[in-house]
Amino acid sequence: MSGALVPQSAQALSAFERERLDMVAHTLAGLHEQQALQFYRDYPQLLKACLQNHYPLTASLLATPGATWDWRALSASRALQWDADLIAQFATQWDWDVLSKNPALPWSRALIEAHAEQWNWQALSSNPALPWSQALLEQHVYRWHWAPLSRNADLPWSADFVHANAHRWDWAALSWNPALPWSEALIAQYAERWDWTGLSANPGLPATAALVARFAPFWHWGWLSKNPALHWNAELLNTYAAQWDWQALSAQPRLPWDADLIAAQAARWDWRALSANPQLPWSASLLQTWRSHWDLAALYRNPALPWADLLAPLIEAAPGHSPALPPTPPSPPAGLGTWDWDALSENPALPWSAQLLHTWQDLWDWDRLSWNPGLPWDSAVLDRFAAFWDWSGPSSSADLPWSAELVAAHAEHWDWERLSANPSLPWSAELIAPYAERWNWATLSAQRSLPWGTGFYRQFGAHWFAPLVAAQQGLNIHHLGADEITTLLQEKPAQKPD
């Protein structure tokens, strides 16, 4: 048995060992508490915002003499120790519009009834966290806003629930709601009430050929043509060929695309939309067959084309041309007209390489290339074409092999505003410090990817925008107990440290 393999001394800690561990834990907790207390004494401008956003404030803390609160921010907080007594005690301070939207409250029929005169009932009608039931609706039937209720996907939708409130729903809003228990029977029962535009667009429909047929006189065919829920087949397309919106169908990714379908409806397709559709069975043969129909600009932007084959003439072109003259590109394959260098420059699916960029560097649109995530982004490519980039693009890139060395190598090139917002950098105090005068500190203050902590905050304390930091970082506020927070709230703030 496995228990026999474990020495008795290892199966349970002795009372002495448990006491020692408890002492260590207590000492560490005390140390963390003292460090947090000193931090918030040094940066009092952070205290209120961190408390309001991240601390489980109680009624006694909110009532601390001399404390002033942003009650709108508190009303939106999901961290407070919400209970019915807390809500009642500060009923005159809450922002009831904001409170009505807060999903963190201990929602119950009793709580809703207790403050029936204070809620924003329109906001309440959209709140997903309420204990929705027919009884709750009946209890306040004349207070609810039935349009947002009809859009609310979190109601206990069933056919009986729809029937019970049939005289109250906003049927236009209801028609767009994908959460209803959609069925042919339900649709038929209220055929004269639905907003058929919304219903035609609704992805929750059981959109079979039988459903389409039964309600053919009612559909908004333009919206139905875009609906991703339809079970498409060639017969369905042919049956209602005169009703479909063929521009929408040409962009529809869920059609059973093949060469036969394209040929069968060639006169009906919107060829610009078709040219941009990535789901077609793209091949050199397909391009050749319909070469006089394609929209070339859309075609060149389409990432689904077999670009490795189509660009073979450009890739294989010898770079050994005269340095005094730019190379002349070979003709593109049949069906591609003339090369569209602007569109190609923003297409991420090309077989990009440094050589391809170099050979045709005078023809690319480098502004578009700078934002193209498909390029082989590395330090060598960045260096080699440094004079060509729009540096806002690389500064925003998630694809570069970011390092402190890469940032330093192009310090004079970066768009520092965009760099400040880029979560992909290897953020550290060591990366930030050398460029303190270049960063956008408001943007950095809202950056969740930084290595946040009280020590990190101290290191750049003069630069931060405290409300932006506190909106998304608690900075060890949870290490403080109620007594310490009361003390901080009642203290006169010390002078801000340098």
For residues 289-295, average pLDDT: 95
pLDDT tens digits, one per residue of 73-129? 999 999 999 999 999 999 999 999 999 999 999 999 999 999 999 999 999 999 999
- Looking at residue 90, its pLDDT comes to 97
Q: What is the mean pLDDT of the chain?
A: 92
Contacts for 476 with CB less than 8 Å, ≥ 6 apart = 32, 35, 36, 39, 453, 454
Residue 316 scores a pLDDT above 50? yes
Question: Cα separation of 179 and 476, whole Å?
Answer: 41
Element (H or E) spanning 358, and its range?
Answer: helix 354-359
At residue 413 the predicted structure's pLDDT band, cuts being 50, 70 and 90, is very high
Question: Cα separation of 351 and 312, whole Å?
Answer: 10
Residue 227 scores a pLDDT above 90? yes
Block residue for tokens 């009793």: 110
Asked whether the beta carbons of 208 and 187 are under 8 A apart, the reply is no
Asked whether the beta carbons of 308 and 351 are under 8 A apart, the reply is yes
pLDDT tens digits, one per residue of 129-172? 999 999 999 999 999 999 999 999 999 999 999 999 999 999 99
Residue 3 scores a pLDDT above 80? no
pLDDT tens digits, one per residue of 35-81? 999 999 999 999 999 999 999 999 999 999 989 999 999 999 999 99
| Cα of 253 vs its chain's centroid, Å | 23
For residues 320-340, average pLDDT: 77
Q: Radius of gyration over alpha carbons of the chain, in Å?
A: 32
Residue 7 scores a pLDDT above 80? no
- Looking at residue 494, its pLDDT comes to 59
Asked whether the beta carbons of 355 and 319 are under 8 A apart, the reply is yes
At residue 5 the predicted structure's pLDDT band, cuts being 50, 70 and 90, is very low
- Produce one character per residue of 400-422: b if its CB has 16 or more CB atoms within 10 Å, e if not: bebeeebbeebeeebbbebbbbb
At residue 325 the predicted structure's pLDDT band, cuts being 50, 70 and 90, is low
Asked whether the beta carbons of 310 and 334 are under 8 A apart, the reply is no
Block residue for tokens 């329109």: 122
For residues 15-26, average pLDDT: 56
Residue 473 scores a pLDDT above 80? yes
Asked whether the beta carbons of 221 and 245 are under 8 A apart, the reply is yes
Q: How many Cβ atoms are within 10 Å of 215's Cβ, its own excluded?
A: 18
Q: What is the DSSP string of 41-69?
A: HH-HHHHHHHHHHHS---HHHHT-TT---
Question: Cα separation of 468 and 445, whole Å?
Answer: 6
- Looking at residue 223, its pLDDT comes to 97
- Give the residue from 384, 412, 487 showing the smallest Cα distance to 395: 412
Asked whether the beta carbons of 154 and 132 are under 8 A apart, the reply is yes
Residue 395 scores a pLDDT above 60? yes
Structure tokens at 83: 């209970």
Tell me the CA distances in angstroms from 164 to 130, 138, 159, 191, 408, one per residue in order.
19, 10, 9, 17, 67
Q: How is residue 192 annotated by DSSP?
A: T
Question: Cα separation of 223 and 59, whole Å?
Answer: 52
